[in-house]
Amino acid sequence: MNGTVRISPGQLTALTLLGGSSALAASSSHGELLFGLFWVVLAASLLGAAASRLGVPAVVGQVLAGIVIGPSLLNLVQPGDFFLTLAELGAIFLLFMVGLETRFKDLLAVGKEALLVAVLGIAFPLALGFGFGLWQDQSNVSALFVGTALVATSVGITAKVLQEIGVLDARFAQVILGAAVIDDILGLTLLAVVASLGAGQGLTGTQVAVTLGLSVGFVALVLAVGIPLIRRFQSRLQSISVARAFNVAIVVGLGVAALSSVAGLAPIIGAFLAGMVLAEVKDQVEFESKVHAIEAFLAPVFFVVVGLQLDVAALGSVQVLIAGSVLTVLAVIGKVLGGVLGARSMGGRDALLVGLGMVPRGEVGLIVASLGLGAGIIGKTEYAQVILMVLLTTLLAPLVLRALLRGQPRAAAPAT
C-alpha cells in the first residue's frame, strides 16, 4: 500500500451531502440567532421610544419588549446562552459607562450615607422576607432564601434611569451607586451562606469572613492601585490616537470585570470600578463617546433579556398573585425604609429618592430565584411569587423615580 486513500464516487457524494447538511444546519442556526437579535433590537427600539414619548423610562419599555417577543407571548425569541451572554455584556458596558460618569471623590463624599443605606437596605428586606416565608409555613432555610431574594438590587436599571434624566452627578445618585456596590458585596456573601445552608453544607464564620474580606479587598485594591496608575500614564494616553485610547479603555473595563468575577463579585461591579478609574482621565483622553456608542447598542439588549426571562404564565394563580403582591409591598418597604433612614441627613426628598433607587430587583432577583429553585431550596409556588415581586419592582420603581424627578435639569448626554 502506498498510503493513498481511494474514495468511490458514491462515498464522495455521501460525504458531500453530509458536509452540506452540516453546513446547512450551522447556517440555519446562525440565521435563527440573527433573526432573534433582529427582533430584540427592533422591539427594544420601538417600545423603548414609545415609553420615552409617554414620559416613561425607556428601560420599562425595553423590559416589556422582552415579555412581548419572548416565550410568554409571541415566542419569537428564546433566552438561550447567546442572548444571556449578550445581556451580560450589555450590563457590563452599562455599568462601565455609569462608572465613567462617576468620580471616586464624589463617592467618598457620600461614603457614610452609602454604607448606612446598604446595610439597612439588606437588614430590613431580609427580616421582612424571612417573616413572610415563616408566615407561609416555609422551612427556615426556604424563608431565609426568600429574604435573600428581597435583598437583591439591580443597580443597572436605576442607573439607566438616572443616566436618561441626566442626574448621575447628583448627591442622591452618588449615594445610590455607592450603596449598590456595598449592597452587592454583602448580598453575594449572604447568598453564598444561604445557598450553603440549603445544600446542607457546613459554613464556618471564618469562611464567611474570608469571602467578605476577598470582596472588600478587591474593591479597595482596584481603586487604590488603579487611580494612581492611570494618572501616572495620563500623559502617554494623551499622546496616542483616539482609537488606541478606546482600545485601552475596553481592555481595562473587560479585564477588571473578569477579575471581579474571579474575586466572587458580579462582573458589573468590576466594570463600574474600571469606569471610575478611567473617569480620572476622561477629560484629557477622548474615548467616552465611543464607549457610549457600544453601551447604547448593548444595554437595551440587557433589559429586553430581563423581560425574556419573565414567565408571565406562572403568575396566573390567584394565590401567587396575592402572595406575590404582598411580597412586593414588603420588598418596597424594606428598601425605601433603608434609604430613608440611611440617608436621612440629606433631607426627606433625597432620602426617599435613594430608597426608591434601591428598589428594582431586575436580573439580580431573577438569578437568586433561579438558584433557589434549581437547588430545591424553594418550590415553584415560592419561585413564582418572587418572580412577580421582581417584575413589579423592576417596572414600577423606575416609573415612580421618573415622576419624582420630573423637572430636574437634564445634563447633556455624551455625543456618539
List domains and CATH numbers for the chain: 71-405 (1.20.1530.20)
Mean pLDDT by runs of 10 across the 416 residues of the chain is 50 51 60 90 94 79 90 90 89 86 78 89 93 90 87 78 82 87 74 66 64 79 91 86 90 93 80 90 86 90 84 79 93 94 90 91 70 77 84 83 71 40
What is the gyration radius of the CA atoms in the chain, in angstroms?
23
Helices and strands of the chain, counted as H and E runs: 17, 0
Phi-psi region of 347 (alpha: psi -120 to 50; beta: other; left: phi over 0): left
- Residue 328 is predicted with a pLDDT of 94
Task: Give the separation between CA 242 and CA 237, rounded to whole angstroms.
Answer: 9
Q: The whole model's pTM is what?
A: 0.72
- Residue 339 is predicted with a pLDDT of 92
Task: Give the separation between CA 236 and CA 280, rounded to whole angstroms.
Answer: 14
For the chain, give the longest Cα–Cα distance.
Answer: 91
Task: Give the separation between CA 385 and CA 325, rounded to whole angstroms.
Answer: 8
